[in-house]
């Protein structure tokens, strides 16, 4: 499982012109799932994500987590995180999980975040989405559950 995590001052996602998720300060998290991922990957990355210390403390150092600052999380499914671009100019997606597994683990990731009492918003799995955000820093970090 891969998460592309961005520290944002605000973010929102829309489907067909309707906002489906919106947050203020927090994290925009793009979620990619591969064939071998399980609930263990969801549990590991949901914990890592909320405890990742990428928010500034009083001295301007990245020393606080999402839990520390009380921020929100906008969660978007993103199969293109498993794009293979080593051959040719057109990405291949054979490393991305099938939609059934990907949606199941995406929903489980959302549930794990909800259990932590974090304000969150979501995209719509499989939909064409418009994502708007302001990356603070910029800070963008790739988290993976496997090497």
> Does residue 75 contact residue 122 with C-beta atoms inside 8 Å?
yes
φ, ψ at 64 (rounded to 5°): -120, 150
Tokens matching residue 69: 């600052």
Give counts: helices (H), strands (E), the chain.
3, 8
Q: Enumerate domains of the chain plus CATH numbers.
A: 2-144 (3.50.80.10)
Q: Does the global pTM surpass 0.85? A: yes
Spatial distance between the Cα atoms of 110 and 103, rounded to a whole number of angstroms: 11
Tokens matching residue 38: 């399980």
Spatial distance between the Cα atoms of 29 and 27, rounded to a whole number of angstroms: 6
What count of other Cβ atoms lies within 10 Å of the Cβ of residue 60?
A: 7
Active site residues: 78-80
Q: Which residues of the chain have pLDDT under 50?
A: none
Give residue 147's pLDDT.
75
Q: Express each pLDDT in 114-137 by its tens digit.
A: 999 999 999 999 999 999 999 999
Report the chain's C-alpha Rg in angstroms. 15
């Amino acid at each position: 499982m891969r998460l592309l995590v961005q520290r944002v001052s605000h973010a929102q996602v829309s489907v067909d012109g309707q906002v489906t998720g919106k947050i203020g300060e927090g994290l925009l998290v793009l979620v990619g799932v591969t064939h071998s991922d399980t609930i263990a990957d969801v549990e590991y990355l949901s914990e890592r994500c909320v405890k990742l210390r990428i928010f500034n403390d009083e001295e301007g150092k990245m020393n606080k987590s999402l839990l520390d600052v009380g921020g929100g999380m906008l969660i978007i499914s993103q199969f293109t995180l498993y794009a293979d671009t080593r051959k040719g100019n057109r990405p291949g997606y054979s490393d991305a999980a099938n939609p059934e597994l990907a949606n199941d683990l995406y929903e489980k990731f959302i549930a794990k975040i909800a259990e932590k009492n974090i304000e969150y918003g979501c995209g719509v799995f499989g939909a064409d989405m418009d994502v708007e955000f302001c990356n603070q820093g910029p800070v963008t970090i790739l988290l993976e559950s496997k090497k």
